């Protein structure tokens, strides 16, 4: 018969006094539903005995009927009975229900009743590990092992604890001991795999996870962890398969969905990755890592505002998540919220002072703010923390070049041999200023494209139309050298034969943007579209030829081209170098910047303009007002060597020559462009190092463009830089009547001035080595008659209507476009 035990969970006054100590253990709120009356089957109407209660509790516990077992455990305690096994078992139930404090009390009670209770020590060790008290966890787990040396579970648990403490070799030994004791323990093989992965023994870790799966085929965690190993080994397809297996076994496995998203992101399947992260978040809304990963892929897609929101959600869940703060800073920087970005970077560094990438990111921001010295300090800190951080090395080289800081040249030269070629990729653009090596540049470009942009593309079939559709893409439809050169081309395109689209991602428009809008082209503002939306828009316009005017320059959107938006894609004007990928089919050049025997240094096929590849705005008029040397702080007498290239282009090689020229040509001065104060100060110091009076170095302040062109006439000879020539700067000087002496190099960037001089008919100003460059400059400075003849020739050549005619140039380019579509 079934007897009702009244007042279950309650005690009479008499009993309460007797069991005061035990009454500290109460049923938690989660078990309120089991308080009150309940039935126990007994053979008599008498109160159940201690043994009956224990047997019922153990029976229900073994059957997985946790709440029923809990009722009996609690009743046992309420009756004042003491049994360490009861306390330990009940503690395990409460721990499983998240009642950590109550479970801890029960385990400790069990140990106080029986100091040699093995399970209580082991369970208490687990509890301390879960709450992050690893030293205490180790103590209790080792006690369990001392009581029972062959307790495999305890050895396995100790391995987990030692891993948490960072003592990986000891963790490996403990876990291997567990496997020796119980070879068929899937959990132990899983834990060993985790430890081996931490130790960098990836192949051994792979075997451990495979062993776990062999023992327990439906072990979702093992499949997921195996996926992580495959990812580490670069086996992305195998990793994807493993995560899909984990999800098939356990559909609500949030971590596996998030990890699958990481693989899809690495495979450049960004929209699929986004869906995986969103699924993980739906399953586990407070999953900070999934919000972080979603922010990363949204950033990749160009959804910057959404990425910002995802990062902020991750931070709300996990405030001390340094990586999120740093990546949030990157998004805020791209959104031009520079002060907020700086706060984010500094927060990341405060949380994790050893976070090299955050120091690097803060350095980039300091460059944006013009704080070059602070930027260099941050890059140096990043490299001190991680001397293999290629991004920081490249940024340090570029920033030091920007301020003409030529210290540690020997170290930087060693870096350059493998920088961006081995290890992580770097943007090749900044290093073009520092070295002239087309083979290394091509290797860097290929690696950079592959790591950053390579993704599955859609083949676009050309459809024949009555007029050819051309799309130009740029963030520089504004007051920028590219737009200054290309403006007449856009206006002069034959709109009866070509339908021209301008895909603009200009952040702040100006008078040049307005000129682009009024050029007769179809202006598409895509600044607020993400990359996928921009691709869909361009494909919808059915363009035949997509022209990228940016390459790897700042604010580029190479991602758009990586998906492919047209059957023909061209690199033109804005980036004088190879993209390093066949996703860009052609590069527009000429016979000088890319001669036949240099084609091997370009991933693109070469399209050559009949003359110089640079276009020109022949509507520009030079200021006719009278100007004098005095107006620009120049000496009334003496030879004026001039170079208005940006300071980042100046290297010690040409500067040494320039200083020797000043020493040899008495009364001469060097007139340079004022770029930034640090560059000015450093160049003054470099002058003094070479025993030249700093007063012979004169800096030109910014003035309106027409006046800037006019002041070239005050110079006597233009001196070009070597690795990165003047491009538009050389053209401006020639247009104003100032001869420019150049040295032809190897890279596209080092051959542009030679192309300009050759196309205009002044090949005598092209030199082929440093000695010839110096000797020619010295000869011209000492021979006023020869220089006068040279200037007269230049003036005459520039008046010829065929030289740098915007109309003829446009027609030549249109012929190239037409022939491409016909092929």
Annotate 34-78 with DSSP letters as a single string.
Answer: G-S-EEEE-SSSSPPPHHHHHHHHHHHHHTT-HHHHHHHHHHHHH
Residue 538, in any domain of the structure: yes
Q: Residue 359 is inside which H or E element, if any?
A: helix 356-368
Mean pLDDT of 221-244: 96
Q: Specify the pLDDT at position 789.
A: 97
3-state secondary structure of 524: strand
189/208 Cα distance (integer angstroms): 5
CA distance readout (Å), 499 to 489, 544, 774 = 13, 10, 49
Give 702's DSSP letter: P
Q: What is the CATH number of the domain that holds 529?
A: 3.40.50.11380
264/764 Cα distance (integer angstroms): 56
Tell me which of 575 and 6 has the higher pLDDT.
575
20/29 Cα distance (integer angstroms): 20
State yes or no: pLDDT of 328 exceeds 60: yes
322/255 Cα distance (integer angstroms): 20
Relative to beta strand 498-504, strand 468-474 is parallel
Instruction: Judge if 512 and 643 occupy the same domain.
Output: no
State yes or no: pLDDT of 3 exceeds 60: no
455/782 Cα distance (integer angstroms): 58
Q: Specify the pLDDT at position 64.
A: 76
490/816 Cα distance (integer angstroms): 16
Lowest mean pLDDT among 16-25, 114-123, 375-384, 577-586: 16-25
Q: Specify the pLDDT at position 16.
A: 37
Instruction: Judge if 703 and 789 occupy the same domain.
Output: yes
587/551 Cα distance (integer angstroms): 11
Residue 523, in any domain of the structure: yes
742/739 Cα distance (integer angstroms): 10
Reported confidence tier of residue 256, pLDDT bands at 50, 70, 90: very high
Q: Specify the pLDDT at position 711.
A: 96
Residue 8, in any domain of the structure: yes
Q: Which of 626, 671, 666 is nearest to 645 (CA)?
A: 671
Mean pLDDT of 151-176: 93
Residue 729, in any domain of the structure: yes
Number of domains in the chain: 4
The C-alpha torsion from 788 through 794 and 797 to 803, rounded to 10°, is: 180
Q: Are 92 and 102 contacting, i.e. CB atoms less than 8 angstroms apart?
A: no
8/47 Cα distance (integer angstroms): 11
User: What are φ and ψ of residue 542, in 5° steps?
Assistant: 55, 45
CA 818 to chain centre: 38
Reported confidence tier of residue 346, pLDDT bands at 50, 70, 90: very high
State yes or no: pLDDT of 233 exceeds 80: yes
Mean pLDDT of 791-813: 93
Burial (CB < 10 A; 0-12, 13-18, 19+), residue 267, is: middle
Q: Are 131 and 111 contacting, i.e. CB atoms less than 8 angstroms apart?
A: no
Beta bridge partners, 588, equal: 607
5/34 Cα distance (integer angstroms): 13
Q: Which of 103, 88, 94 is nearest to 58 (CA)?
A: 88
Reported confidence tier of residue 46, pLDDT bands at 50, 70, 90: low
588/579 Cα distance (integer angstroms): 12
Instruction: Judge if 559 and 655 occupy the same domain.
Output: no
564/558 Cα distance (integer angstroms): 10
Which single residue is written with the structure tokens 């309940």?
Answer: 38
Q: What is the Rg, in whole angstroms, of the alpha carbon atoms belonging to the chain?
A: 37
Q: Which domain holds residue 383?
A: 272-452
Kindly state the tokens that stand for 719: 């001196």
Instruction: Judge if 214 and 91 occupy the same domain.
Output: yes
Mean pLDDT of 34-39: 42
Instruction: Judge if 684 and 576 occupy the same domain.
Output: no
State yes or no: pLDDT of 169 exceeds 70: yes
Q: Specify the pLDDT at position 50.
A: 74
Residue 819, in any domain of the structure: no
Q: What is the mean pLDDT of the chain?
A: 91
Reported confidence tier of residue 77, pLDDT bands at 50, 70, 90: confident
Lowest mean pLDDT among 242-251, 647-656, 703-712: 703-712
Q: What is the CATH number of the domain that holds 370?
A: 1.25.40.10
Q: Which of 549, 574, 608 is the last residue of a domain?
A: 608
Instruction: Judge if 700 and 559 occupy the same domain.
Output: no
Kindly state the tokens that stand for 476: 């520089």
Q: What is the 3-state secondary structure (H, E, C) of 73-87?
A: HHHHHHCCCCCHHHH
Residue 668, in any domain of the structure: yes
State yes or no: pLDDT of 151 exceeds 50: yes
Q: Specify the pLDDT at position 19.
A: 39
Instruction: Judge if 654 and 576 occupy the same domain.
Output: no
Instruction: Judge if 14 and 141 occupy the same domain.
Output: yes
State yes or no: pLDDT of 482 exceeds 90: yes
90/102 Cα distance (integer angstroms): 10
Give 422's DSSP letter: B
Mean pLDDT of 657-670: 98
Q: Are 731 and 709 contacting, i.e. CB atoms less than 8 angstroms apart?
A: no
The pLDDT > 90 percentage for the chain reads 79
Which single residue is written with the structure tokens 């951080």?
Answer: 389
Q: Specify the pLDDT at position 17.
A: 38
Q: Specify the pLDDT at position 45.
A: 53
The pLDDT > 70 percentage for the chain reads 94
Instruction: Judge if 289 and 351 occupy the same domain.
Output: yes
Q: What is the CATH number of the domain that holds 781?
A: 3.40.50.2000
Lowest mean pLDDT among 19-23, 124-128, 539-543, 813-817: 19-23
Q: Specify the pLDDT at position 31.
A: 46
Q: Which of 574, 608, 642 is the last residue of a domain?
A: 608
711/707 Cα distance (integer angstroms): 6
Instruction: Judge if 561 and 480 occupy the same domain.
Output: yes
Instruction: Judge if 223 and 285 occupy the same domain.
Output: no
Residue 363, in any domain of the structure: yes
Residue 170, in any domain of the structure: yes
Tell me which of 505 and 621 has the higher pLDDT.
505
Q: Which of 579, 608, 637 is the last residue of a domain?
A: 608
Relative to beta strand 568-571, strand 545-548 is parallel
Mean pLDDT of 180-209: 96
Instruction: Judge if 82 and 132 occupy the same domain.
Output: yes
Q: Are 475 and 555 contacting, i.e. CB atoms less than 8 angstroms apart?
A: yes
Q: Specify the pLDDT at position 81.
A: 76
């Amino acid at each position: 018969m079934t007897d009702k035990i009244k007042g279950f969970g309650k005690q009479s006054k008499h009993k309460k006094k007797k069991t005061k100590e035990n009454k500290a253990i109460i049923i938690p709120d989660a078990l309120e539903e089991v308080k009150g009356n309940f039935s126990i089957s007994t053979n008599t109407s008498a109160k159940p005995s201690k043994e009956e209660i224990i047997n019922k509790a153990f029976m229900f516990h073994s059957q997985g009927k946790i709440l029923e077992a809990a009722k009996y455990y609690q009743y046992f305690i309420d009756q004042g009975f003491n049994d360490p096994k009861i306390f330990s078992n009940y503690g395990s139930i409460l721990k499983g229900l998240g009642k950590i404090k109550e479970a801890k009390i029960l385990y400790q009670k069990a140990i106080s009743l029986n100091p040699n209770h093995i399970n209580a020590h082991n369970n208490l060790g687990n509890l301390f590990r879960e709450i992050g008290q690893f030293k205490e966890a180790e103590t209790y787990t080792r006690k369990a092992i001392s009581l029972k040396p062959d307790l495999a579970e305890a050895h396995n648990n100790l391995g987990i604890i030692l891993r948490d403490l960072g003592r990986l070799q000891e963790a490996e030994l403990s876990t291997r001991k567990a496997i020796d004791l119980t070879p068929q323990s899937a959990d132990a093989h899983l834990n060993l795999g985790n430890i081996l992965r931490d130790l960098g023994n990836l192949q051994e870790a792979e075997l451990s996870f495979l062993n776990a799966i062999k023992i327990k085929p439906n072990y979702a965690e093992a499949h997921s962890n195996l996926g992580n190993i495959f990812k580490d080994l670069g086996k992305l397809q195998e990793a994807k398969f493993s995560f899909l297996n984990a999800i098939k076994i356990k559909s609500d496995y949030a971590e596996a969905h998030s990890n699958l998203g990481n693989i899809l992101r690495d495979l450049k399947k960004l929209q699929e990755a986004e869906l995986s992260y969103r699924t993980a978040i739906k399953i586990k809304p407070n999953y900070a890592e999934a919000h972080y990963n979603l922010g990363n892929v949204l950033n990749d897609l160009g959804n910057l505002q959404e990425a910002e929101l995802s990062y902020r959600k991750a931070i709300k869940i996990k405030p001390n998540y340094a990586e999120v703060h740093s990546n949030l800073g990157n998004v805020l920087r791209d959104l031009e919220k520079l002060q907020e970005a700086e706060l984010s970077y500094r927060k990341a560094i405060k949380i994790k002072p050893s976070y090299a990438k955050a120091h690097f990111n803060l350095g980039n921001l300091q460059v944006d703010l013009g704080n070059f010295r602070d930027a260099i300090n941050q890059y140096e800190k990043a490299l001190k923390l991680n001397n293999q951080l290629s991004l920081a090395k490249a940024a340090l080289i570029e920033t030091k070049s920007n301020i003409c800081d030529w210290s540690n040249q020997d170290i930087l030269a060693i870096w350059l041999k493998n920088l961006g070629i081995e290890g992580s990729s770097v943007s090749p653009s900044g290093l073009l200023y520092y070295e002239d090596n087309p083979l290394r540049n091509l290797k860097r470009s290929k690696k950079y494209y592959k790591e950053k942009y390579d993704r599955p593309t859609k083949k676009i079939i050309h459809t024949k139309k009555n007029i050819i559709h051309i799309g130009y893409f740029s963030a520089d439809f504004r007051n920028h050298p590219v737009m200054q050169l290309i403006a007449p081309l856009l206006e002069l395109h034959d709109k009866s034969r070509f339908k021209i689209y301008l895909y603009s991602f200009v952040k702040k428009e100006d008078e040049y943007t307005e000129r682009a809008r009024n050029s007769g082209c179809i202006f598409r503002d895509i600044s607020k579209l993400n990359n996928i939306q921009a691709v869909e828009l361009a494909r919808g316009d059915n363009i035949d030829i997509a022209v990228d005017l940016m390459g790897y320059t700042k604010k580029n959107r190479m991602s758009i081209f990586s998906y492919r938006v047209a059957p023909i894609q061209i690199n033109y004007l804005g980036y004088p170098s190879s993209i390093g990928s066949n996703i860009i089919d052609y590069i527009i050049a000429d016979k000088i910047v890319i001669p036949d025997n240099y084609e091997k240094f370009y991933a693109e096929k070469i399209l050559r303009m009949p003359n110089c590849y640079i276009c020109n705005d022949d509507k520009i008029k030079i200021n006719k007002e009278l100007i004098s040397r005095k107006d620009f702080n120049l000496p009334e007498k003496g030879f004026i060597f001039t170079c208005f290239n940006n300071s980042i282009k100046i290297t010690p090689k040409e500067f040494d020559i320039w200083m020797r020229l000043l020493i040899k040509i008495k009364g001469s001065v060097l007139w340079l462009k004022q770029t930034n104060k640090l560059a000015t100060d450093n160049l003054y110091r470099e002058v003094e190092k070479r025993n030249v009076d700093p007063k012979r170095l004169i800096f030109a302040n910014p003035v309106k463009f027409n006046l800037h062109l006019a002041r070239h006439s005050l110079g006597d000879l233009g001196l070009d830089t070597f690795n990165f020539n003047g491009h538009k700067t050389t053209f401006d000087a020639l247009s104003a009547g100032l001869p420019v002496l150049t040295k032809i190099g190897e890279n596209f960037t080092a051959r542009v001035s030679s192309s300009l001089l050759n196309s205009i008919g002044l090949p005598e100003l092209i030199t082929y080595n440093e000695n010839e460059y110096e000797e020619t400059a010295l000869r011209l400075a000492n021979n006023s008659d020869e220089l006068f003849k040279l200037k007269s020739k230049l003036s005459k050549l520039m008046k010829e209507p065929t030289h740098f005619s915007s109309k003829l140039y446009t027609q030549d380019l249109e012929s190239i476009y037409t022939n491409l579509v016909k092929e």
